[in-house]
């Protein structure tokens, strides 16, 4: 490349940099909107516009490859990191639907890796906005802009980052005795990606089946996040209790899976192992568990409470019915409920509400 060509490319880049910066932001937001609409949760979406210094190194390093700025297809880039490997192809289908793909400059690196080589598995698209978007006034200035979209799983990303840090992106540069270690690790990561997909599928199958199991044989269904969530959502009694608490504290109800995960630790601590055992306690205590919330529930303005909150207070009733101040104190300490200074009052409230009910 002549010095003049290089200078012209850099000068043109300086001129269009603000447009590329806006184009990158617009495209990132489009992708986020598409994934949200499709219900796809990803680990991260990041974007960048190539720096001036990086571009200078690129055009000087790759002599005669670029004669004008438009020849360079990675001036801007977006990286999508998925949780699961099969989401890569799913997102790829959305990219092909929503953008005009430059096939000659796009590459699926997953198809380039053979068993004797190492490298990261990643899908690279070079795209521009489709004609139907470019017809809109707000997008017309992006007519000549292209952008690279990389899509890979979080484990594929882990490989790429570690590989980059080691500084060996060419397999021929790696000492022969080390290459086998690279190959083994690449295989392990690929296997891990496949196993995570199987785990996700098995969890989905379990969640689909657990409702029927709870209805038929609740005493055999162990308490876990999925079974507890299903029980809460399908139990009319629990729904009614949650709604009463919601009314007491003037807060809307919301559904958060991690709250059910927390409740599993509560009932494990209390020795309640199955949905059947839990339901018997709910039927036994019933509305009595509201004795404490009516006097002591606290909620910040605008805060929502979780479906299943009644089970949090059911735990108070369980330890309260045991009638031991120490057991109540140990429970509050174990789950870091309230500050140590305020626990004594809470212990007395719990015992007053429930110990005589046992």
- The CATH number of the domain holding residue 107 is 3.30.460.10
Confidence class for position 1, pLDDT limits 50, 70, 90: very low
User: Which domain-ending residue is among 113, 128, 158?
Assistant: 158
State the average pLDDT over residues 330-336: 95
Instruction: Looking at the structure, tell me whether residues 241 and 340 fall in a common domain.
Output: yes
Is 80 exceeded by the pLDDT of residue 25?
yes
Does residue 178 form part of some domain? no
Q: What average pLDDT does the segment 32-36 reach?
A: 95
Whether 230 and 146 share a structural domain: no
Do 225 and 126 lie in one domain? The reply is no
pLDDT digits (tens, 9 = 90+) for 2-20: 566 788 889 999 999 999 9
Helices (DSSP H) in 99-235: which residue ranges? Answer: 131-134, 154-166, 176-216, 225-234
6 or 170: which leads in pLDDT: 6
Residue 88 lies in a domain: yes
d(CA 150, CA 139): 22
* Same domain (yes/no): 152, 44: yes
Highest average pLDDT, of 119-128, 160-169, 259-268, 296-305, comes from 259-268
Per-residue model confidence (pLDDT) at position 172: 64
The more confidently predicted of residues 289 and 238 is 238
What is the model's pLDDT at position 118?
Answer: 43
The whole-number pLDDT of residue 120 equals: 54
**pLDDT at position 279:** 95
Do the domain assignments include residue 181? no
Rounded Cα–Cα distance for residues 23 and 36 (Å)? 20
Measure CA 175 to chain center.
38
Same domain, 6 and 116: yes
Identify the domain boundary among 134, 158, 182.
158
Domain that holds residue 263: 217-354
Closest CA to 71 of 105, 103, 36, 100: 105
Mean pLDDT of 130-151: 93
Averaged pLDDT for residues 155-161: 85
- Which pLDDT score is estimated for 35? 95
Please check whether residue 195 lies inside any domain of the structure. Answer: no
pLDDT value of position 170: 59
> What pLDDT, on a 0 to 100 scale, did the predictor assign at position 3?
62
Q: Which residue has the higher pLDDT, 171 or 259?
A: 259
Residues 153 and 267 in one domain: no
On whether residue 168 sits in a domain, the answer given is no
The token duo for 284 is 């036994």
242 in a domain, yes or no? yes
Residue 120 in domain:
yes
Q: Is 95 helix (H, G, I), strand (E, B) or coil?
A: helix
Q: Are residues 144 and 259 in the same domain?
A: no
Domain end among 113, 132, 158: 158
CA dist., res. 328 & res. 348, Å (int): 9
Residues 113 and 239 in one domain: no
252 and 342 in one domain?
yes
Phi first, then psi: give them for residue 182, nearest 5 degrees. -60, -45
Q: How many CA atoms lie within 13 A of 341 on its CB side?
A: 0
Q: In this structure, what token pair is assigned to residue 216?
A: 């038929």
User: 322 vs 4, which has greater pLDDT?
Assistant: 322
Q: How confident is the model at residue 160 (pLDDT cuts 50, 70, 90)?
A: confident
Higher pLDDT, residue 94 or 57: 94
Which whole number is the average pLDDT over 212-241?
95
Q: Are residues 15 and 154 in the same domain?
A: yes
209 found inside a domain: no
pLDDT at residue 115, as a whole number = 42
Q: Give percent helix, percent strand, percent coil of the chain, each to the nearest 5.
A: 65, 10, 25
Same domain, 306 and 227: yes
Q: What is the pLDDT of residues 308-319, one digit of tens each?
A: 999 999 999 999
Give the pLDDT score at 201.
Answer: 95
pLDDT higher than 50, residue 117: no
Domain total in the chain: 2
Residues 226 and 107 in one domain: no
For position 116, what pLDDT does the model report?
A: 43
The proportion of the chain whose per-residue pLDDT surpasses 90, expressed as a percent, equals 60
Closest CA to 41 of 78, 79, 83: 83
Please give the pLDDT value at position 114: 52
The lowest-confidence range among 103-107, 144-148, 282-286 is 103-107
Average pLDDT over residues 330-354: 90
Please tell me the predicted confidence (pLDDT) of residue 167. 66
């Amino acid at each position: 490349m002549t010095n003049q060509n290089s200078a012209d490319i850099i000068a043109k880049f300086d001129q269009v940099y603000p447009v590329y910066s806006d184009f990158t932001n617009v495209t990132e937001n489009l992708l986020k909107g598409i994934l949200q609409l499709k219900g796809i949760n990803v680990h991260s979406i990041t974007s960048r516009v190539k720096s001036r210094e990086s571009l200078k190194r690129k055009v000087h390093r790759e002599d005669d490859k670029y004669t004008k700025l438009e020849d360079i297809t990675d001036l801007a880039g977006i990286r999508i990191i998925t949780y699961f490997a099969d989401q890569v192809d799913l997102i790829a289908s959305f990219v092909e639907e929503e953008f005009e793909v430059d096939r000659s400059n796009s590459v699926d690196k997953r198809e380039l890796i053979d068993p004797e080589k190492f490298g990261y598995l990643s899908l690279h698209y070079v795209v521009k906005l489709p004609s139907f978007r470019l017809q809109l006034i707000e997008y017309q200035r992006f007519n000549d802009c292209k952008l690279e979209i990389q899509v890979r799983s979080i484990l594929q990303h882990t490989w790429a980052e570690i590989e980059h840090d080691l500084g060996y992106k060419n397999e021929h540069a790696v000492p022969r005795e080390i290459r086998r270690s690279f190959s083994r690790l690449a295989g392990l990561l690929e296997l891990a990606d496949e196993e995570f997909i199987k785990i996700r599928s098995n969890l989905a199958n379990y969640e689909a089946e657990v409702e029927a199991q709870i209805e038929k044989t609740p005493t055999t269904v162990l308490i876990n996040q999925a079974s507890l969530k299903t029980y809460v959502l399908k139990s009319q009694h629990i729904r009614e209790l949650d709604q009463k608490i919601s009314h007491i504290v003037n807060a809307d109800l919301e559904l958060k899976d991690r709250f059910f995960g927390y409740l599993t630790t509560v009932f494990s601590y209390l020795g309640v192992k199955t949905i059947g055992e839990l339901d018997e306690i709910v039927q036994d205590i019933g509305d009595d568990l509201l004795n404490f919330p009516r006097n002591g529930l606290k909620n910040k303005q605008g805060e929502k409470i979780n479906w299943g909150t009644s089970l949090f207070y059911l735990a108070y009733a369980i330890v309260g019915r045991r009638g031991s101040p120490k057991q109540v104190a140990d429970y509050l300490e174990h789950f870091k409920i309230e500050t140590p200074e305020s626990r004594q009052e809470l212990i007395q409230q719990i015992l007053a509400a429930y110990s005589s009910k046992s």
